């Protein structure tokens, strides 16, 4: 376990380095020659694909349709909505030349596609009968970031962006909340990550949005990670882009809009929330390989034959299984698949075959058990459930243990230094929010839906408190 070149930095020694080590050594990604643009290697991309498939189905179940829009936005189009430009302008990548010629209207590589969707919706929406429109696209976007980290913040990242138009404000508001519920369910049911759901403060909300909702995850170094957002836009964009429809009353009306997105940042959340000093630990339902079979003494033809039998049986049952019959030593393979976070390892050797059993090891708690050959097919799916549950509960316990009420400014600092969320009673004023940022470099992550007030005075100014806000240092 202490082979010099293969080992990764320990979490307690340097958490950031541990993270980078895992990303590289689990072969999730590699760096490219352009800063902030990474290569998604097969194992990392497979993880994203599994998230995609799962979410895509959920979207379609609620009536969302997939589309694809251009990756470039004419500058003039991009500038139509004022807040939006102010928010994104500092981090756009702009193409100014096509072929040999300078472009008259330089093209912005999309940092997000609200403007393109609006331009298109303006053309195709004429009547209330055309509503609602609920489009989604899977694509990448580019934001010229100053500091980049694999999956957490990249100059280019993969995501989905949903953009909808509704006849009424009520429907649109409901949509933003419904999509947030779907994101939350993805965490709970697929990624084994508990999120805090809530609404953003005005300071933290999306450029141009009326309301921004988010799911926030807590990382083991005590920092929060915004993992997905949904926005209710009102009719601001729609008006700026001249989108209108003839309503049921035969009057011209403006539709109400939402957008919502999650990105490959979710991979960063998976890595950090579940990983340990031996590498990745993947939740079973999202793991690209759910079971790896390691034959022991595989030169023995009986062993390899039995290993293949297990492989075929599991594969036929729809389990993502890999048989590693390379001539590496078993010990090497154990370490390798631990690094890659494969949830279950199935060992087959001559001794097992003689006894009609195999050995199954769980990645998440290193436990090993002997399972009868005939029980394997029903035991493995059961173990997936158990592992998922254990991983979720462990993460949830961490979240609970690191969410603390702050009763004084001093206590707030202590909580933030320890890591995690500080619950703060807040008057609603921007100044008090800024003050906390200034003192402790912490931001309002969200105003959680579950409020549970514990005081009636604002922690900062002492005036009447309106909301409980979760503050944390964030990625």
Partner RNA sequence: CGGGGCAUAGCACAGUUGGUAGUGCGCUUGGUUCGGGACCAAGAGGUCGUGAGUUCAACUCUCACUGCUCCGACCA
Residues that bind RNA (CB under 7 A): 1, 3-7, 16-17, 19-20, 31, 33-36, 87-88, 90-91, 111-112, 143, 145-150, 153, 204-207, 212, 226, 229, 278, 296-299, 327-332, 334-336, 338-339, 347-352, 358-359, 361, 366, 368, 437, 441, 474-475
Are the C-beta atoms of 442 and 426 separated by less than 8 Å? Answer: no
Question: How far apart are alpha carbons 127 and 117 in whole angstroms?
Answer: 17
140 or 278: CB nearest RNA: 278
- Which tokens in the block code for residue 355? 């006894």
User: Which string of DSSP letters, residue by residue, matches 314-374?
Assistant: HHHTT--EEE--SSS-HHHHHHHHHHTT-SEEEEE-HHHHHHTEEEEEETTT--EEEEEGG
Q: Which residues contact 259 (CB under 8 A, 6 or more apart)?
A: 112, 114, 117, 161, 162, 163, 164, 230, 231, 233
User: What's the min distance (Å) between Cβ of 223 and RNA?
Assistant: 9
User: What's the min distance (Å) between Cβ of 111 and RNA?
Assistant: 5
User: What's the min distance (Å) between Cβ of 456 and RNA?
Assistant: 29
6 or 104: CB nearest RNA: 6
User: What's the min distance (Å) between Cβ of 26 and RNA?
Assistant: 10
User: What's the min distance (Å) between Cβ of 352 and RNA?
Assistant: 4
Question: How far apart are alpha carbons 34 and 36 in whole angstroms?
Answer: 6
Q: Which residues contact 417 (CB under 8 A, 6 or more apart)?
A: none
* Nearest CA-CA partner of 285 in 314, 316, 262, 319: 319
84 or 125: CB nearest RNA: 84
111 or 194: CB nearest RNA: 111
Report phi then psi at 222, rounded to 5.
90, 0
296 or 424: CB nearest RNA: 296
* Nearest CA-CA partner of 19 in 251, 223, 287, 302: 223
User: What's the min distance (Å) between Cβ of 140 and RNA?
Assistant: 13
Q: Which residues contact 101 (CB under 8 A, 6 or more apart)?
A: none
- Residue entry with tokens 């800024």: 434
5 or 250: CB nearest RNA: 5
User: What's the min distance (Å) between Cβ of 5 and RNA?
Assistant: 4
66 or 441: CB nearest RNA: 441
């Amino acid at each position: 376990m202490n082979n010099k070149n293969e080992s990764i930095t320990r979490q307690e020694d340097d958490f950031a380095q541990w993270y980078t080590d895992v990303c590289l050594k689990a072969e999730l990604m590699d760096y490219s020659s352009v800063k902030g643009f990474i290569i998604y290697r097969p194992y990392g991309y497979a993880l994203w694909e599994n998230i995609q498939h799962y979410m895509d189905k959920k979207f379609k179940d609620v009536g969302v349709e997939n589309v694809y829009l251009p990756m470039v936005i004419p500058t003039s189009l991009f500038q139509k909505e004022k807040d939006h430009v102010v928010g994104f302008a500092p981090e756009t990548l702009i193409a100014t030349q096509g072929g040999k010629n300078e472009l008259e209207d330089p093209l912005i590589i999309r940092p997000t596609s609200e403007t393109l969707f609006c331009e298109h919706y303006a053309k195709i929406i004429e009547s209330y009968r055309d509503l609602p429109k609920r489009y989604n696209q899977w694509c990448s976007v580019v934001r010229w970031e100053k500091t980049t980290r694999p999956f957490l913040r990249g100059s280019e990242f993969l995501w989905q962006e949903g953009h909808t138009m509704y006849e009424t404000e009520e429907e649109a508001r409901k949509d933003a909340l419904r999509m947030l519920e779907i994101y939350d369910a993805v965490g709970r049911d697929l990624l084994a990550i508990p999120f805090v759901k809530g609404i953003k403060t005005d300071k933290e909300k999306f450029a141009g949005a009326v309301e921004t909702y988010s799911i926030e995850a807590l990382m083991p170094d005590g920092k929060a990670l915004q993992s997905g957002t949904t926005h209710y836009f009102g009719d601001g964009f729609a008006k700026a882009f001249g989108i209108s429809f003839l309503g049921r009353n035969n009057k011209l009306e403006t539709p109400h809009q939402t957008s919502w997105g999650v990105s490959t940042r979710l991979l960063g959340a998976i890595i950090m929330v579940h990983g340990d000093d031996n590498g990745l630990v993947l939740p079973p339902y999202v793991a690209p390989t759910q079971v790896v079979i390691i034959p022991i003494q595989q030169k023995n033809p009986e062993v390899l034959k039995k290993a293949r039998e297990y492989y075929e049986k599991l594969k036929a049952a729809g389990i993502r299984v890999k048989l590693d019959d390379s001539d590496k030593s078993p010990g090497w393979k154990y370490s390798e698949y631990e690094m890659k976070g494969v949830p279950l390892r199935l060992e087959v050797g001559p001794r097992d075959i003689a006894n009609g059993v195999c050995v199954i090891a769980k990645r998440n708690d290193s436990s090993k058990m002997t399972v009868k050959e005939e029980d394997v097919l029903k035991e493995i799916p059961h173990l997936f459930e158990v592992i998922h549950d254990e991983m979720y509960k462990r993460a949830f316990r961490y979240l609970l243990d690191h969410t603390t009420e702050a009763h004084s400014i001093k206590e707030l600092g202590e909580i933030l230094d320890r890591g995690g969320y500080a619950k703060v009673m807040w008057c609603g004023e921007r100044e008090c929010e800024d003050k906390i940022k200034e003192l402790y470099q912490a931001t309002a992550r969200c105003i959680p839906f579950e409020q549970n007030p514990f005081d009636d005075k604002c922690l900062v100014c002492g005036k009447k408190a309106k909301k409980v806000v979760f503050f944390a240092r964030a990625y």
